[in-house]
Structure 1
Amino acid sequence: MQLMTNYRLTRLALSISCLASMGAAQAMAQSTGEAGADQGYPRLVEQNVRSKLSFISEGDRRLGLGPNGATKSNEAGLDIKPEWVWQLSPHWRSKLRLQAFAATGQVDVSDEIGGTTTDGFFALREAWLDYNGLSDYPGESIRFGRERLKEDSGMWWDDDITLVRWIFDTSLLDTTVGVAQKFAELRTDDNELQEDEQDIGRFFAHTRWQWRKGHYLGFLATHGQGYGDQADEFAARGQAVDDSFTDSLTWTAVQADRNYFDWHSHDAFQYFASVAAVNGTDTVVGTDPGAPSGYSTHERDVSGWAADLGARAQLLDMPRWVIGAHGAVASGGGEPGESDAFRQTSLESNRSRFTGTRSQVQRFGEAIQPEWTNLRVFTFYTALSDRDTWDANLLYHRYWLGDEAGTLRSDLVEPGFTGASDDLGQSVDLVLGYYGDSASTSWAAFDVRLRGGVFMPGDAYGDEADDTRHRVVVDLSKRF
């Protein structure tokens, strides 16, 4: 059955790709034939193919503690993303973005779809329609379809999802409100969502107001409403589950910053502050001697909080040299029947331009990439760049558990905590970027990026854990 599903998805992805390519070719021919005259609709306004060759090296995810041996890997991957944007009429616009990925072995593509390993797939990444005829504001529209929903910090939303949303974007106010749901991954290798992400309807809203030149205030809200019966199914089968299932959870956050994610900024001092909370209920599967299967479901109250505070100083303007520091905390712990642990929305990537350069950097470390839960992190970084063509970022992270008895989830490292210490460890990251292709039309120009990190486990992992774990990714990219 799974094989047949994958075959149908592969055929669907290839069909969409072929149809889009034929439509693009027709639009380009029309454009050539109508040079010098007003074009009709629909017309192709943008077409490109982003290709990326990656070399990925990782240390043992089990830190030498796993009973089934090490999970080291050294692999290569090829990623191709064609996309098309059409102007269908004066007020209607559409976008289609596909992806084909292949690797020499199982790798984690955590800058795209964290938490899963794969050796290849075809995928539908984006397919949406946008209508901007609601008012005279050029920045107001309504959009529906599958889109990459993202906000600047990457700690709330950075994922492909099916949605309907209203967009209002002006020089002083940027607002969006909508509803969304993940129905499937729309990938040929693993189309099914993870159990804890299935059957969740979402409402989201974000507004960012420039109250003073370069200074912004923001408010973010997300509500997840679960309506599935996955927890009951696990309990009936007598299976334990590490994660909980969303029942009704609401996230809110207040943010303030001074051009913090603008790598073109010349500000001598910049700041970012975010305070957040999650409240509601979830469902867990636990042991129950009185149940026929030995397991039953239990509703649990959830009340967690988190904060992230950062500041950056510019020491030189050209090349731009900055130093900065962040302190982030997310609550952990709880009692029977309730959880005090903060958790993220499951739409996050934790990847953003928070170092003040063009490079997207993992907020909590390239070699460990933990979720923002039951965690305290101090981060110090320095970065050098010319703002457009190249940059270099050096970061140091120090980690502690919020609750020694609690857990910490990570896309790359299995927990294995001893429960005897809150010392999670430390890590060092080096991220280099050269963007030769972006400013050149030469076929010989490429973008080159290196993301390297080393994680050094602390006492929370015990004395038997490996001293270090590395993850290094080298990307060679070209846009056609």
Structure 2
Amino acid sequence: MQFPKINRLTRLTVSVGCLASMTASPLLAEEEPLQEQSYPRLLEQNISSKFSVISEGDRRLGLTPGNEISSDEVGIDIKPEWVWQLSPHWRSKLRLQAFAATGQVDVSDEVGGTTTDGFVALREAWLDYNGLTDYPGESIRFGRERLKEDSGLWWDDDITLTRWIFDTTLLDATVGVAQKLAELRTDANELPEEEQDIARFFANTRWQWRKDHYLGFLVTHGEGYGDQVEELAARGEPLDEGRDGSLTWAGVSADRDYFDWQSHNTWQYFASVGAVTGSESVSVADATAASGYSARERDVNGWAADLGLRAQLTDTPRWVIGAHGAMASGGGDADDSDAFRQTSLESNRSRFTGTRSQVQRFGEAIQPEWSNLTVATLYTAISDRDVWDANLLYHRYWLEDKNGAVYSDLVEPGFTGASDDLGESVDLVIGYYGDSSRTSWAAFDVVFRGGVFLPGDAYGDQADDVRHRVVLDLAKRF
């Protein structure tokens, strides 16, 4: 570990801690009588701090000797947050983040798909107005917000939006428009090219049609209005990953309280089926073009499904076993793509094992996108529902199209095209949530997330036998 990096980590930690301390006000000791309340009023404030140890093996699986990408680092993450009641009908929230590490690490459990050694970011800043009607669960919200649904397979990202919210005991719904304008981070404020110039429409509803049984429907439309592909073609650069597209996603789901870690149901199920359709542009070889490449539009039609079943063996402590089967189509050519692809707002992280801990749906050490992929998952978990849990998972992977690719934030493809056997992985996630009292300095949250990925024949005989990723988080909320 290099001392300059540690000093930089220490300086950033102290600076952010002082800033958060100076801007925070003491929590309200007791509520004022309703008739005497004044505005604006601070409803909630806290500072979440987390110290992490992060270790991971070579992202290139040993296929590029001398150019391995692996790391063993430590990091610290601080998130101050404030919620205000500005008037009887207006509410606002502000959430910031400062992260620093001793080297380049992936923060996929937070912001996804980026490596960094530190940044300061604006995570959320929104206004909410609930004076549209007299119904208490209805409001309109605009600003930058964490847009999330339970499975994490469709939405779990910070984005600038305007949306209508309807929240009741039996029916939840939201409809809105959104666009990623910038990362709003000091290390990489500009969006990745594949996420630039996309206007989005989204809608989601979840209806409890019977006690603990839910039906859901989700739709997202992304309309690209840039000219990135034309620019790449003019420079003579190929691109087989479509951009500047007009794509629509639709998904339906059914579950029996599947993401409720406090459930006492003996049997629980989850079923989700989705599809994407539309068109996108690619840059392909063209002998008639001056640059040797031209932009071409291709049709996109893909599908995906995720089916899960869980049984509770004992109630106290809660011990469950479960199985999932996830599929996502692959294949296609320069004119048509049959591959399903996700919305680019997903995290693939959720409480799908029936415990409080957030677990990576497709493996902690590989974290693939839900595309051109078949995954069989078996898991078991034990917990007391509130304070501690332990999750053990096994994943087996296959390529839907062995000549295609599976994209991952952690592992570079390197496929041989000779097999559809992508490999297997084992994960262990253990959580202890003792931070229930902000007045107790002894109460901390401790989460261990460890995984190993064993590459299959799709990577050839020269790939490493195993790749690991281990993250240990020690967190405290003030």
Q: Which bracket does the TM-score occupy, shorter chain normalised?
A: over 0.9
Residue 447 of structure 2 is aligned to residue 456 of structure 1: no
Map 1:71-90 to 2 at 5 A: 71-90=69-88
Query: Could you say what secondary structure the match of 2:93 adopts?
Result: strand
Once residues 174 and 210 of structure 1 are traced to their aligned partners in structure 2, the CA distance between those partners, rounded to angstroms, is: 9
Stretches of structure 2 lacking an aligned partner (at least 5 in a row): 1-14
Report if aligned partners of 2:229, 2:244 keep a CA contact under 8 Å in 1.
no
Q: Which residue of 1 aligns with 2:373?
A: 375
Farther off after superposition, 331-340 or 53-62: 331-340
Deviation at 1:441?
A: 3.2
Q: Which residue of 2 aligns with 1:9?
A: none
Q: Which residue of 2 aligns with 1:103?
A: 101
Query: Could you say what secondary structure the match of 1:209 adopts?
Result: strand
Farther off after superposition, 371-380 or 279-288: 279-288
Map 1:74-223 to 2 at 5 A: 74-223=72-221
Once residues 55 and 412 of structure 1 are traced to their aligned partners in structure 2, the CA distance between those partners, rounded to angstroms, is: 17
* Aligned with 2:261 (options 242, 263, 277): 263
Query: What amino acid is aligned across from residue 433 of structure 2 in structure 1?
Result: Y
Deviation at 1:294?
A: 1.5
Q: Normalising by structure 1, report the TM-score.
A: 0.93
Deviation at 1:373?
A: 0.1
Q: CA RMSD in A?
A: 1.8
Q: Which residue of 2 aligns with 1:57?
A: 55
Deviation at 1:285?
A: 1.2
Query: Could you say what secondary structure the match of 1:101 adopts?
Result: strand
Once residues 378 and 451 of structure 2 are traced to their aligned partners in structure 1, the CA distance between those partners, rounded to angstroms, is: 14
Residue 396 of structure 2 is aligned to residue 409 of structure 1: no
Query: Could you say what secondary structure the match of 1:196 adopts?
Result: helix
Once residues 169 and 29 of structure 2 are traced to their aligned partners in structure 1, the CA distance between those partners, rounded to angstroms, is: 35
Map 1:433-472 to 2 at 5 A: 433-439=431-437, 441-472=439-470
Once residues 375 and 433 of structure 1 are traced to their aligned partners in structure 2, the CA distance between those partners, rounded to angstroms, is: 29
Deviation at 1:246?
A: 3.6
> Alpha-carbon deviations, 1:5-27, whole Å to 9, x = none?
xxxxxxxxx99x96x977753xx
Report if aligned partners of 1:24, 1:44 keep a CA contact under 8 Å in 2.
no
Query: Could you say what secondary structure the match of 1:335 adopts?
Result: coil
Deviation at 1:68?
A: 4.8
Report if aligned partners of 1:64, 1:466 keep a CA contact under 8 Å in 2.
yes
Report if aligned partners of 1:429, 1:453 keep a CA contact under 8 Å in 2.
yes
Deviation at 1:32?
A: 7.2
Q: Which residue of 2 aligns with 1:323?
A: 321
Report if aligned partners of 2:226, 2:244 keep a CA contact under 8 Å in 1.
no
Once residues 429 and 29 of structure 2 are traced to their aligned partners in structure 1, the CA distance between those partners, rounded to angstroms, is: 42
> Alpha-carbon deviations, 1:299-348, whole Å to 9, x = none?
01000000000000000000000000000000000133000000000000
Report if aligned partners of 2:227, 2:244 keep a CA contact under 8 Å in 1.
no
Once residues 169 and 31 of structure 2 are traced to their aligned partners in structure 1, the CA distance between those partners, rounded to angstroms, is: 35
Residue 347 of structure 2 is aligned to residue 358 of structure 1: no
Once residues 445 and 253 of structure 2 are traced to their aligned partners in structure 1, the CA distance between those partners, rounded to angstroms, is: 33
Once residues 381 and 456 of structure 1 are traced to their aligned partners in structure 2, the CA distance between those partners, rounded to angstroms, is: 17
Q: Percent identity?
A: 76
Deviation at 1:63?
A: 0.3
Q: 1:23 to 1:135 in 2, by over 3 A?
A: farther
Report if aligned partners of 2:214, 2:256 keep a CA contact under 8 Å in 1.
yes
Once residues 49 and 128 of structure 1 are traced to their aligned partners in structure 2, the CA distance between those partners, rounded to angstroms, is: 18
Once residues 29 and 391 of structure 2 are traced to their aligned partners in structure 1, the CA distance between those partners, rounded to angstroms, is: 44
Report if aligned partners of 1:224, 1:246 keep a CA contact under 8 Å in 2.
no
Deviation at 1:232?
A: 1.2
Report if aligned partners of 1:381, 1:394 keep a CA contact under 8 Å in 2.
yes
Stretches of structure 1 lacking an aligned partner (at least 5 in a row): 1-13
Once residues 334 and 76 of structure 2 are traced to their aligned partners in structure 1, the CA distance between those partners, rounded to angstroms, is: 47
Farther off after superposition, 309-318 or 225-234: 225-234
Report if aligned partners of 2:282, 2:334 keep a CA contact under 8 Å in 1.
no
> Alpha-carbon deviations, 1:394-442, whole Å to 9, x = none?
0000000000111110010000000000000000000000001135631
Query: What amino acid is aligned across from residue 201 of structure 1 in structure 2?
Result: A
Query: Could you say what secondary structure the match of 2:239 adopts?
Result: coil
Report if aligned partners of 1:224, 1:249 keep a CA contact under 8 Å in 2.
yes
Q: Which residue of 2 aligns with 1:336?
A: 334
Query: Could you say what secondary structure the match of 1:334 adopts?
Result: coil
Deviation at 1:205?
A: 0.3
Report if aligned partners of 1:438, 1:447 keep a CA contact under 8 Å in 2.
no
* Aligned with 1:475 (options 461, 468, 473): 473
Q: 1:183 to 1:94 in 2, by over 3 A?
A: same
